[in-house]
Amino acid sequence: MNASSAPVPPRTLLVGSGKLAARLAPRLIDDGGEVFALRRSDGPLPDGVSGIRADLSLPQVPPLPMVDAMVITLPPSGEVAGYRTALTHLAAALPRVPARTVFVSSTGVFDGAGSARPLTERDDPAPSTDRSRGLRDGERAAIELFDAVVVRPAGIYGPGREFLLRRVREGAAVDHARRTNRIHETDLVRTLDVLLRMETPPRLVHAVDEGPAPLGEVVRFIAARTGVDVPPDLDSDGPTGHVYDGSLLRSVLGGLEYPTYEAGYAEMIDGAATP
């Protein structure tokens, strides 16, 4: 039995109810799971999801239901200790630590000038900004409190995540030499689903596709596909940014639905152009 067809956790708590949680919840429910969503405000939820309102930045978190699994997709708070504070409050409100927790971090734990050598899960970040230090401390807190599996996505894109498409259409200047990596939202949601179900998941996964590329190459493709001019170059001093090795992710998923930026952006652009 492969991981994607393994039994779903009976009860899952989604901590954060953004786009990833909204797409993951129906997959779990369709396979017979019960899903709860912890969020700061009221609003629509996918059918079948039970909402729980709480602000994890505050200690007054209501008692939470007993669950078998948890997926944490909280946005950065802006403070280095923000994740640790929220996760400590979360742990205090849970009746027990779930058997499986997946914490969504970011490749932003790596910062600095970068290099062209592909980074793997064995490379240790040395964060130097408040954002990257906060992400790294959040990972450590999730591991310490919940024995979490950590996922580091890079450049999430897909329907509704069209920042770069808008930049190209506007003709905004970009750094053509910057090294970039990305993951289509569909493949990231698949990753979270599989990691919840795997009997022995990897402890850390870089969620990146097979097509790291300089940003100039990506915007040239988008410009050609949309029929607009290529955005001007910011003329930086040289390449910055990192490249990530995604071979572990591909071994977990057995392949990506959107292995390259060409596949993902072509579908988005062509779909938007279809009457």
What digits encode the pLDDT tens for the residues 170-192? 999 999 999 999 999 999 999 99
Look at 58-72, 112-126, 153-167, 221-235 and tell me which has the smallest mean pLDDT.
112-126
Q: What is the mean pLDDT of residues 78-103?
A: 96
| DSSP state for residue 174 in the 8-state scheme | B
| Beta strands at 179-180 and 213-214: parallel, antiparallel or unpaired | antiparallel
At residue 116, the pLDDT reads: 86
Taking the model in full, what pTM does it have? 0.95
What's residue 73's pLDDT? 97
What order of strands is seen across the sheet that includes strand 34-39? 49-53, 34-39, 11-15, 69-72, 100-104, 149-153, 204-207
Residue 3 vs residues 64, 80, 116, 181, 209: alpha-carbon distances, Å: 28, 35, 32, 25, 19
Residue 163 above 90 pLDDT?
A: yes
